Structure 1
């Protein structure tokens, strides 16, 4: 007889399978503290005497410009002259702010500290991070290709920026204009390669010494926030167009709906009509005197963000 192999027993399909444990929920990572989060600059005019950023902030983009610096120690003839001019102009334009002065005594309007005036050679330039070093190298090369020269101031003038947000009291260059233009023109190929605007075709080289908000741009803003980041100051002044006939240039009131608790920044339509003429009559002879006006141009600076690089002329 053949032996029948034993059958392998199988469990019944009716038997229950062992239950699996429930899946565990994934834990969320804790949020980064706010101190580690990237801070985007906030345009708060309250931090900048009512000035408004005319070019929106772009992450990874750096504002830059090239200029000739003029540092003046306190007590020098030109420094004393600029103090006197500012005090005279501020009597007629109370909303006037000085440029290039480290400290101002608010009670008297008298300036203290050191002056550093800037004579712009470019408009504001906007660079990506990887373009900064190349731009500095280009400015360095241009500086080496030009020699030290003598310059002087010729007259006071009123200028306004391209966006017509501010008006400036400035001193215009006389001698040295052609040398400054040669340096500025040498930067054009670099600006074109970066797709940036060139300087003005007929530039009026100058150093701005004071500014005021224009009336149509006067701002009403909330008090400054502790988390607000400050922006940089750029001066790209161009000749003022013929002013529209207006009153005497006194500050224009803001909208009545503004809260009385908010800082108010008063603007003017333009400087009083006779201000620049009076400044030139009263201070022009001092400005063009040999001991006051003449200075040496021996370096070119480039400011990128908050970093300033200085390059000696060849």
Structure 2
């Protein structure tokens, strides 16, 4: 049996000195060092990308009155493509201040509640995101093919890591006008984001899914409830997946920079007209951190069910690819 490893007298003196140092004022320095620790890697957050399921049916009372926009279909995996942003402490403080000001500015009568996206119910910081797809869904047989096709196309697209900035504050409704979002609009023109959206839309349309920033087709969306239509979609999608996209047609890429945004809060009711018009516009000097914020984008994420796949943007020419077309 091993002996208990007691602390030696020398170690005891060291501990006493450490506690003395802390009581002498080094605690603040240690806290400052803690504040400067680098952020957790994005893959760590992916482990907790989904909340615990508390009901087998759509129950708005469990989600602040929110209703499921896309009906759940048994066997379908909800899917979303996006870019994540992890605000710094100072940026989070500015965002919290902005949300608080908005809440205080609402009319006092029947004041609707603004719900923040910045923290969880337990107060833990949450990542924010820029969407690159609408909420879509795939049957089990297709979900892996879709992710593989997206990874291959992103890799061959030549899109490199880039940065984006914010230009204004706005209120944006979802497609069904069932929720309103307080958002930070991305700078007026962002070629790289347009390219990422173009590639994402191209792949989801290959798989017979609706693109982002296009009017939905209810008839097409309702097809997901039919097994026969799932089978036909499966066949069409496999054909698309088997055709490797070695070249991307950029000629039909649209500039939809006006649509890119980061949602920081939401509310169920539309903002009152006077409040709506007075609270949207350029980011003011009251939020200097946001004026100077830059989001570094080096990867996109594909969340299928509760599994998140990180797809990095290429930082160098991939070995084996042709250079100058030869």
TM-score bracket for the superposition, by shorter chain length:
0.5 to 0.7
**Contact 1:102–1:114 (8 Å) recurs in 2:** yes
Deviations 1:235-255 (Å, cap 9, x if unpaired)?
A: xxxxxxxxxxxxxxxxxxxxx
Specify which of 194, 197, 217 is matched with residue 181 of structure 1. 194
Q: Does 1:126 align with 2:144?
A: no
- Aligned residue for 1:308? 308
Take 1:303 and 1:164, find their aligned partners in 2: how far apart are those partners? 24
Q: Quick check: 116-125 or 94-103, which moved more?
A: 94-103
Q: Which residue of 1 aligns with 2:4?
A: none
Q: CA deviation at 1:293?
A: 2.0
| Equivalent position of 1:191 in the other structure | 204
CA distance in 2, matches of 1:40, 1:82: 32
The TM-score with structure 1 as length reference comes to 0.61
Counterparts of 2:96 and 2:310, CA distance in 1: 27
Are residues 183 and 160 of structure 1, via their aligned partners in 2, closer, same or farther at CA, if it must alter by over 3 Å? same
* Maintained 8 Å contact 1:152/1:176: no
Deviation at 1:90, TM superposition (A): 1.8
Q: How does 1:57-68 map to 2 (within 5 A)?
A: 57-68=72-83
SS in 1 for 2:284: helix
- Answer yes or no: is the 8 Å Cα contact 2:78–2:305 preserved in 1: yes
1:138 to 126, 149, 152: 149
| Whole-angstrom CA distance in 2 between matches of 1:287 and 1:134 | 43
SS at match of 1:95: coil
Question: Hey, what does 1:45 align to over in structure 2?
Answer: 60
Query: Within the alignment, does 1:101 sit opposite 2:119 as a pair?
Result: yes
Would you say 1:166 and 2:221 are equivalent positions?
Answer: no
The reply to whether residue 285 of structure 1 matches residue 285 of structure 2 is: yes
Change (3 A) 1:283 1:198: closer
Distance 1:310 1:71 in 2: 15
Q: 1:282 and 1:211 mapped to 2: Cα distance?
A: 19
**How far has the Cα of 1:193 moved from its partner?**
2.1
The count of aligned residue pairs is 212
Structure having the larger proportion of residues in helix? 2
Change (3 A) 1:152 1:142: farther
Gaps of 5+ in 2: 1-53, 215-255, 315-326
The structure with the larger Rg is 1
Q: Distance in 2 between matches of 1:276 and 1:65?
A: 29
Change in 2 beyond 3 A, CA 1:291/1:209: closer
2:166–2:290 Cα contact (<8 Å) kept: no
Cα distance in 2 for residues equivalent to 1:176 and 1:283: 16
Counterparts of 1:282 and 1:179, CA distance in 2: 22
> How far 1:278 sits from its partner (Å)?
4.5
TM-score (norm 2): 0.59
Residues 114, 266 of structure 2: 8 Å contact kept: yes
2:165 touches 2:295 (CA, 8 Å); kept in 1? yes
- Matched with 2:94 is 81
